[in-house]
Structure 1
């Protein structure tokens, strides 16, 4: 697989992951039964697996590694924050107000990851 094709797959999965999170967050806040649909529960795992797999292959193909390159380290740490905030937003938050705060934090973490990926600079400009 060419690096360019892999990068397009990765970027497509980034968009699908972010849009899927936003949709699930909306459904959670609206108390929609669609949040419990089997496809809603399984599709994000498929997209995120492709996202992570493509990221790992790009790291290997490019020879740029987290904890060696600061911008990749920032993306990994941002990803961990995004996952934690997303779990609190969609599953673990006790009230809708708490969940809404974590939705905002997850969206900010997602935006940070994308900005670091585009700029290759871990510092907010």
Structure 2
């Protein structure tokens, strides 16, 4: 896969991951029935795994170093934190923790977007 195809695949996976996260979070808060369907339970794992793999593939393809710590290293750590916050937001039994984790995911997304556009931290 060429660089541009991989980059566009990565961007599509970003949109799918964020969109599905917020759809699932709001649906969970509203007790929507459709959210319990198997595709909504499986898709986030597939999308987030593909997102990480496409990001790592881009790093390898471009040959950008992760050490010493730079904007890309921090961005990768924020992606992992976003996924972790998403898991807590979906699985916690406490409403305050769910909302706090969702806010944490949103902050991670904002940080990732800032780093992706500015390429500095």
Q: Return 5+ residue gaps in structure 1 as ranges.
A: none
TM-score (norm. length: structure 2): 0.91
2:110 corresponds in structure 1 to 111
2:14 corresponds in structure 1 to 14
Partner Cα distance (1:7, 1:68) in 2: 24
1:52 corresponds in structure 2 to 52
Partner Cα distance (1:40, 1:58) in 2: 27
2:5 corresponds in structure 1 to 5
SS of residue paired to 2:52: helix
Deviation string for 1:63-117 (max 9, x for gaps)?
01323350111112212221221111101x2322221121111111112112211
1:97 corresponds in structure 2 to 96
SS of residue paired to 2:31: coil
SS of residue paired to 2:35: helix
1:27 corresponds in structure 2 to 27
Q: Return 5+ residue gaps in structure 2 as ranges.
A: none
2:38 corresponds in structure 1 to 38
Q: Tell me if the contact between 2:48 and 2:83 (Cα under 8 Å) persists in the aligned partners.
A: no
SS of residue paired to 1:67: coil
CA RMSD of aligned residues (A): 1.4
In the alignment of these two chains, the number of paired residues is: 121
Distance 1:7 1:69, change over 3 A: farther
1:78 corresponds in structure 2 to 78
TM-score (norm. length: structure 1): 0.88
1:88 corresponds in structure 2 to 88
